[in-house]
Amino acid sequence: MIIFVLSAEHRYTHETLVGRRSGATVDLLTYPQLFQLRQLPRATYIFTDHDRLPTEMLRAAASIYQQLRLQGIIALNDPARVLSRYGLLRALFQRGLNQFNAYRAEEGVTPERWPVFLRADGDHMGPLPELYRRARELQAGIRQAVDRGIPMSRLLVIEYAAQPTRPGLFTKHSSFRMGKSEFACTNVHDNQWIAKTGKRGIATPELYLEELRIVRENPHAPAVAAAFEAAGIDYGRADFGMVDGKVQIYEINTNPNIALRDDHPSEVRQQSYRAFEENYFGALRANDTPDEARR
C-alpha cells in the first residue's frame, strides 16, 4: 500500500489513483486525519503540500516521518528538509543549475537581471503577469500587490527566464520523481510566457512527436535530478523551461494533480498520455509496500 498524506482541501489531486488497477494499492490521508490516528498501517508514506502547512503542522508531520523511518517504514519527502519555493530557486542559482535568481521583496534588494516578475511563496495560482524592467516599476508593482492583500513576507521577486519554443509559443516541461523512479510528463503549450495549463490547438504535430520522445526517453533527467536533490524532495513534479538549450527549473510541486487522460484529438499526444501513465504506475509498484510486509 502507498498512502499519500495531503492537505485537507487538496486531496482531490490523487483521488484518481484510489481503486485504480495500477499494481499498487493507493490510499489518501489528510494531515488532520494523520494527526488523530494512534496507529498507522505499515505502508509507504508520501508527505506532500509542505508549502500549505503552518509551522506547527510541519513539525508534527516531521515527527511522524522520523518515527516511521525509525521503524523501517518507507517514507518520502521529509517535512523538516523540503525547501520552500524561494529556498529552492536561491539554491539552484547558487549551485549554477539555474541562470536566474530570486529574492524576497522585503529584502529590498535590486535584482541583477531584468525583467523580473512577482509571485507569492507557497501560492499555486501562478505568477503575477506583469514584467518589470526597472527598479521604479518593480517598487510600484510591489506596493500594488501588497494593496491587493498579498503579504509582503511571502512576496518573491523572480528574474524572468523564459524562451519561446516557436515564435509566439512557449512550452512548459515537467518531470516526476517518486523515490528512485524518475520519468518525464507531457508538456504544456501556451501563447504567453506563463504556461500554466496551456491552450489546446496551439501545438504543432512536430511538437507532439518531440513530446512523445521526451516522455519515452526522459532526456533532461540529470538536470532535473540535481534539482530534486537540492530541494530535498523524493516525490513531486518539477516544472521547467528550456533557455538556450539548458533546463531552468521554475518550481517543484509535491502535490501535483494526477490527471490520467486519453481524450486528446492527437493520437501522438494520446501515446504520450499512455506512456506517462505506464511510467507513473511503474513508479507506484517500485515504491509499494506489499501486503505481506504489512501483515
Asked if residue 139 has pLDDT above 90, the reply is: yes
Q: Are 79 and 47 in contact (CB under 8 A)?
A: yes
In order, the DSSP letters of 210-244 are: HHHHHHHH-TTHHHHHHHHHHHT-SEEEEEEEEET
Q: Per-residue pLDDT averaged across 31-36, rounded?
A: 96
Instruction: Label the pairing between strands 116-120 and 155-159.
Output: antiparallel
Q: Is there a common fold for 2-82 and 170-286?
A: no
Is the full-model pTM beyond 0.85? yes
Within 52-169, strands assigned E span: 75-76, 102-104, 116-120, 155-159
- Measured in residues, the chain has a length of 295
pLDDT tens-place string over residues 169-195: 999 999 999 999 999 999 999 999 988
Given this model, what pLDDT does residue 294 score?
A: 52
Given this model, what pLDDT does residue 292 score?
A: 61
Q: Per-residue pLDDT averaged across 205-223, rounded?
A: 97
Topology of domain 170-286, CATH: D-amino Acid Aminotransferase; Chain A, domain 1 (3.30.470)
Q: Per-residue pLDDT averaged across 110-133, rounded?
A: 90
Given this model, what pLDDT does residue 262 score?
A: 75
Asked if residue 49 has pLDDT above 70, the reply is: yes
pLDDT tens-place string over residues 257-268: 998 877 888 999
Given this model, what pLDDT does residue 157 score?
A: 97
Asked if residue 80 has pLDDT above 80, the reply is: yes
Q: Which CATH class, in words, describes the domain spanning 2-82?
A: alpha beta
Cross-strand partners of 111: none
Given this model, what pLDDT does residue 293 score?
A: 56
Domain edges within the chain: 2-82, 101-159, 170-286
